[in-house]
């Protein structure tokens, strides 16, 4: 599994979005949906038109594997996700002519199947390559959401709750804030006269 980063630069976010929009409305919406909701790609791909179209919020049951010492078990977390105005407009435009039972991120393969995680990854990797970004994957969307919220709110406890993390340190590391601090610490050595 590759380590991925959030997209920290607003201009790069806009560049990725514009590239995806030039490819397809679906791919642009996938990107925006991820950075505006902070959901895992597996939760995003399960959504159907009826779940979000024309709504101010939607409910999901997030599934996450929690690792114990020698076994893993799944636990679920029920979440109410607000749909911000920017995302609502994109959804309204995109879903207007779709059936309520259609998957939002419908594959071109088969009748009504969502794209796969692998396809979502490929979409994002192509955009990253075009926009000269490294360490990008499907988790980049979730991490970008967290990074942007943290930069705006400076409330790690809020993000810890949104991400269902057990400790603030995990959240800061996850969204790349700790990496920023580490990079700054190393770069501070450049100013030393030794």
Gap between the Cα atoms of 44 and 21, Å rounded:
18
Catalytic one of 40, 48, 53, 106: 40
Q: What are phi and psi of 156, to 5 degrees?
A: -65, -30
Is residue 121 among the annotated active site residues?
no
Catalytic one of 139, 143, 147, 150: 139
Is residue 139 among the annotated active site residues?
yes
Catalytic one of 53, 106, 143, 165: 165
Give the three-state DSSP class for 101: coil
Longest distance between any two alpha carbons in the chain, whole Å: 67
- At 16, which helix (H) or strand (E)? helix 10-23
> Which is nearest to 15 in space by CA: 179, 155, 129?
129
Is residue 165 among the annotated active site residues?
yes
Is residue 129 among the annotated active site residues?
no
Catalytic one of 17, 142, 147, 150: 142
Catalytic one of 23, 25, 57, 64: 64
Is residue 142 among the annotated active site residues?
yes
Gap between the Cα atoms of 139 and 171, Å rounded:
14
CB neighbourhood size of 178 (10 A): 14
Is residue 40 among the annotated active site residues?
yes
List residues with catalytic annotation.
Answer: 40, 64, 139, 142, 165, 174
């Amino acid at each position: 599994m590759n380590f991925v980063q959030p997209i920290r630069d607003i201009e790069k976010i806009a560049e990725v979005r514009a590239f995806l929009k030039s490819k397809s409305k679906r791919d642009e919406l996938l990107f925006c949906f991820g950075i505006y909701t902070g959901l895992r790609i597996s939760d995003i791909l399960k959504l159907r038109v009826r779940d979000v179209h024309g709504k101010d919020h939607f409910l999901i049951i997030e599934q996450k594997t929690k690792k114990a010492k020698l076994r893993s078990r799944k636990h679920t977390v029920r979440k109410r996700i607000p749909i911000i105005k920017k995302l609502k407009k994109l959804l309204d435009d995109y879903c207007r002519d779709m059936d309520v039972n259609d998957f939002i991120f419908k594959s071109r393969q088969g009748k009504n199947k969502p794209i796969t995680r692998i396809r979502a990854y490929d979409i994002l990797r192509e955009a990253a390559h075009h926009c000269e970004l490294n360490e990008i994957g499907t988790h980049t969307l979730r991490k970008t959401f967290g990074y942007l919220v943290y930069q705006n709110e400076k409330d790690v406890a809020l993000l810890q709750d949104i991400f269902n993390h057990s400790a603030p340190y995990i959240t800061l590391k996850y969204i790349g804030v700790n990496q920023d601090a580490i990079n700054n610490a190393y770069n501070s050595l450049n100013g030393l006269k030794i």
